[in-house]
A and B are shown apart, each in its own frame.
Chain A
Amino acid sequence: MAWYGHRRSGEPRPGARAVVVGLGLSMVGVLAIQTSTAVRSGIDASRESVDATTASLASFASDLSDWSLFGFGRSEQDRARIAELEAQVRELTRWKDLAESMTLRMERYERLLDLVGETQGQSVTARIVAEDAGPFSASRIANAGAANGVREGFAVINENGLVGRVVRVGEYTSRILMLTDFASRIPVMGTRSGDRALLVGDNGTGARLIEPETPDKIVEGEVWVTSGDDGKMPLGVRVGIATRVGEEWRLSLAIDEGPVDFVRLVPPPDFARPEDAPALGGVSENTEPTLRSAGVELAPIVTTVPPAATGRPASAARPSPGGAQ
């Protein structure tokens, strides 16, 4: 008797076959019910917790291989890396000081000009712990989640430019949809042409511009940035460089210029919705029915002009245009 079984291979097993076929059919059923939004949202909730497990698994497997394959002789490399990073920190500190002083000056200029700037919430810096470039999605998992203040819809930026946006948030992890994913849609604009378009992902191979307003004005090699038209992305984040491929325009993405390891998760610009804005002091709500219906159904408003002033009877007076007086 072999260690793997008692049965001769090739024996007909109709019961087992039926079970396996049944399992396959049940999977088809599971796939079919996912067309329902309610079911999909339920699955998304479970994916949140699985993202954390995936990140842990990837990290565990990575640690395992680091320990078993490359565990020896790395200290010299590590020391060199640490020295390099320390030099970078010193350089960045100088830039940080410069940026802070420029921010202060810009705030003063904005106040002087009475310019309404974009208010930006607190961003979170995170490390990418897992990446997925499979047939179904192009995404990454970062090691910051709801507990760190990350929310769905945050823009994800690294030193080169826009990486994507947060589509799902777990407690300590968040799933980032890359610009190259099929489902990615980002409003962008050219810095020279001023043209606006929608950047659509091509799953791993790049991203293309669709619906450009004035495609003739787009310049080859022009830098494209986020336009912020959706109110979710900050304005002016570098996205890529325009390249023409056949009849369509594509962007050579900024994220391809280097590894995506550390990222900044940036909240959407904090615009208050008009209905949420506080009431203006001293101005009461307009309850005049004729004015509220203006533009939809113009009520004939008769101006009361003394007959003596026009030389005509008062009934001949015409309604004022647009109902305004």
Chain B
Amino acid sequence: MTLAWRLWVVVLMVLAALVTAYGMRVGVGSAWWPIPALWLTTTLAAFGLSIWASGGFILLGLAMDFMGEAPVGAWPLALLSAYAVALVAWDRQPPIRVISAELISLVGGCIVISLTLGVAAAIAGHPGFSRNALTGDFIMTALMYPVIRFMILPASIRVARR
């Protein structure tokens, strides 16, 4: 990957952390708020496997752990799992269509994040984990994805993946 792409990844990660923090301000914390990291796992996987992006997900996940009082390592593991699901989906494109790859990445990401966080809480011996708290956030993430994808993915994903 080029230096420009790596810088772009860093900018995206910082923006994702800021959007997550913005969701913690007073009056918004209890509302449905998107998980920007899930947009990144879905879209960055289109560029193929990248250690740079994986490292970014670890750091972003750690920030989310500390912000959300999660066991340390829970969100990094969840984001890496979602990234892996997205990589598998994008690897099948072609023959499957771009929209299908994105859909599988997004929905699969939601499912795998939900499961991984539950497992992480069990491994770390965390007293409680509420899957319901994530449902609204997943819905918001999915609803906003059609707009966000244009900001992250190149104009023609077919060219990008050639």
Contact = CB atoms under 8 A, between A and B. Distances in A.
Interface of A: 2-11, 13, 16-17, 19-20, 23-24, 27-28, 30-32, 34-35, 43, 46-47, 50, 53-54, 57-62, 64-65, 128-137, 139-140, 175, 181-183, 203-205, 259-261
Contacts of B72: 30-31, 34, 43
B26 to A, nearest CB: 5
- Of all A-B residue pairs in the complex, the 10 with the closest CB atoms, nearest first, are A182-B128, A131-B29, A61-B22, A57-B21, A137-B69, A30-B73, A4-B5, A134-B68, A203-B130, A9-B48
A139 B69 CA distance: 8
Contacts of B121: 136
Contacts of A129: 25-26
Contacts of A175: 69
Interface string B37-51: 000000000111111
Nearest to B67: A54
A132 B124 contact: no
Nearest to B64: A134
A3 to B, nearest CB: 5
Given A5-B5, A58-B21, A205-B132, A132 B29 contact: yes
Given A132-B29, A136-B70, A27 B132 contact: no
A243 B80 CA distance: 43
B127 A58 contact: no
At the interface, is chain A mostly helix, strand, loop or mixed? Answer: mixed
A136 B28 CA distance: 17
14 contacts: A4-B2, A9-B160, A11-B48, A16-B50, A20-B49, A31-B123, A54-B21, A61-B25, A134-B133, A135-B134, A136-B71, A136-B126, A182-B130, A259-B27
B160 A4 contact: yes
B17 to A, nearest CB: 7
A34 B77 contact: no
Contacts of A204: 30, 130, 132-133
A50 B66 contact: yes
Interface in B14-37: 17-19, 21-22, 24-30
Interface of B: 1-2, 4-5, 8, 17-19, 21-22, 24-30, 46-51, 54-55, 58, 61, 66-74, 76-77, 80-81, 83-84, 90-91, 117, 120-121, 123-134, 154, 159-162
Given A27-B61, A135-B129, 14 more contacts: A4-B47, A19-B51, A20-B49, A31-B71, A35-B124, A58-B24, A61-B21, A61-B22, A128-B26, A129-B25, A132-B29, A134-B69, A135-B68, A259-B27
A134 B74 CA distance: 13
Contact of A131 (B2, B26, B91): B26
Nearest to B78: A27
A49 to B, nearest CB: 9
A35 B125 contact: yes
B123 A28 contact: yes
B71 A34 contact: yes
Tell which of B24, B51, B90, B125 has the most Cβ of chain A within 10 Å.
Answer: B24
Contacts of B69: 47, 132, 134, 136-137, 139, 175
A23 B80 CA distance: 9
B51 A131 contact: no
A57 B26 CA distance: 12
A261 B29 CA distance: 12
B28 to A, nearest CB: 8
Contacts of A16: 49-51
Given A9-B48, A32-B123, A59 B25 contact: yes
A24 B77 contact: yes
B20 to A, nearest CB: 9
B50 A27 contact: no
B124 A31 contact: yes
A203 B18 CA distance: 25
Contacts of A32: 123-124
B129 A136 contact: yes
B128 A13 contact: no
Contacts of A34: 71-73, 124-125
B161 to A, nearest CB: 5
A203 B70 CA distance: 13
Contacts of A9: 46-48, 90, 160-162
A203 B127 CA distance: 11
